[in-house]
Amino acid sequence: MQANYHTHTVRCHHAEGTEREYIEQAIARKLETLGFSDHSPQVFDGGYVSGKRMLPEQLEEYVATLQSLREEYAGRIEILIGLEAEYYPKYFGRLMDLIRPYHLDYLLLGQHYLGNEEEGLPPCPRPTEDEGRLERYVRQVTEGMETGAFSCVVHPDILNYTGDRKINRKWYEKLCVRAKELGIPLEMNMLGFATNRNYPNSDFFRIVCDVGNKVVLGCDAHAPSRVADPSEIERCMAFLKACGIQETSNRMKLVPPTR
């Protein structure tokens, strides 16, 4: 593993360790690039506050902390500053306005909720046999990819559809085809793999294999020990191979999220 772009910080309320610990771990495991992508802040209407992301007023300090570490570690490891953001149609313009002044290196698209989060719809990993939820997820992620603001879709298979496999393939194939057309890589999420979540899903990665998407391994590190764990990487590669995917690269083209 040369690079990992999927790293969190304590600001999201469900990660641990200091930024320095993540960086030291990355250096010890011979990464050339470590990208931070904590859950993006989001200003909602009606006073709703998300408990799973940094507050908008923490963004400045997040960026400043990482900038100073980037300078300190220059020559030893490349530090990138990004965010993992949702595509919420109602709030996307607001998100871009919030982040624009910081000239971030990239955004990851991680869609944990349908709609705009505040509506309280069940989170995407909740099992469902409702094709409508799968369709809505695929349409929402597709719209997000089409904004041009995202460099990668992380855990693209997070919507946990437990119904007919043909229906599952029908919708997820649309997502994969559009991602390929747009040149957006798809992540195999190492955290989901290590903790036996519903993603990564082997049916999904067989579709990825058939469509021929670029696949990137992402640590989704919420603890320093999760950065580029060699035994996990080996197991993930075996999983992908079993799905027919021979090639992964841990480099991706980064799109600065300005529009």
Query: Could you give the CA distance from residue 170 to residue 68 in angstroms, rounded to a whole number?
Result: 46
CA distance 86 to 79: 22
- Specify the stretch interacting with Zn ion by CB under 5 A; choose among 25-33, 84-92, 117-125, 243-251: 84-92
The backbone torsions φ and ψ at residue 63, rounded to the nearest 5 degrees and listed phi first, read: -65, -45
Residue list 41-80, contact with Zn ion (CB under 5 A):
none
Query: Least CB distance from residue 109 to Zn ion, whole Å?
Result: 11
> Of 84 and 105, which has the nearer Cβ to Zn ion?
84
Shortest distance in whole angstroms from residue 246 CB to Zn ion: 26
Indicate the DSSP class of residue 16: -
Q: Is 187 in the site for Zn ion (CB under 5 A)?
A: no
Rounded to the nearest 5 percent, the helix, strand and coil shares of the chain are 40, 15, 45
The binding track of 190-229 with respect to Zn ion, each residue x by CB under 5 A or -, is ------------------------------x---------
Instruction: Quote the strand ranges of 17-122, DSSP E.
Output: 33-39, 78-85, 106-109
| 105 or 220: CB nearest Zn ion | 220
Q: Which is nearer to Zn ion, 167 or 233 (CB)?
A: 233
Residue ranges of alpha helices (H) inside the chain are: 19-28, 59-72, 92-99, 131-146, 165-182, 190-194, 202-211, 230-242
The smaller minimum CB distance to Zn ion, of residues 209 and 254, is found at 254
Handedness of CA 209, 210, 214, 216 (dihedral sign): negative
User: Is the alpha carbon torsion for 47, 14, 150, 241 positive or negative?
Assistant: negative
Max Cα distance, the chain (Å): 52
In the bound complex, what is the minimum distance in angstroms from residue 47's beta carbon to Zn ion?
23
Of 84, 105, 118, 229, the one binding Zn ion (CB under 5 A) is: 84
Nearer of residues 86 and 220 to Zn ion, judged by Cβ: 220
* Type of residue found at 22: Y
Which has the closest alpha carbon to 186: 161, 212, 156? Answer: 156
The encoded tokens of residue 226 equal 């999760």
* Residue (134 or 153) nearer to Zn ion, CB: 153
CB of 10 to Zn ion, least distance (A): 11
Minimum separation from the CB atom of position 226 to Zn ion (A): 11
* Residue 221 CB, nearest approach to Zn ion (Å): 8
Question: CA-to-CA distance for 3 and 196, rounded, in angstroms?
Answer: 23
Give min distance, CB of 67 to Zn ion, in A. 21
Which C-beta is closer to Zn ion: that of 109 or that of 145? 109
Size of the site for Zn ion (CB under 5 A): 2
* Token pair recorded at residue 85: 């953001």
Which residues here bind Zn ion, judged by CB under 5 A? 84, 220
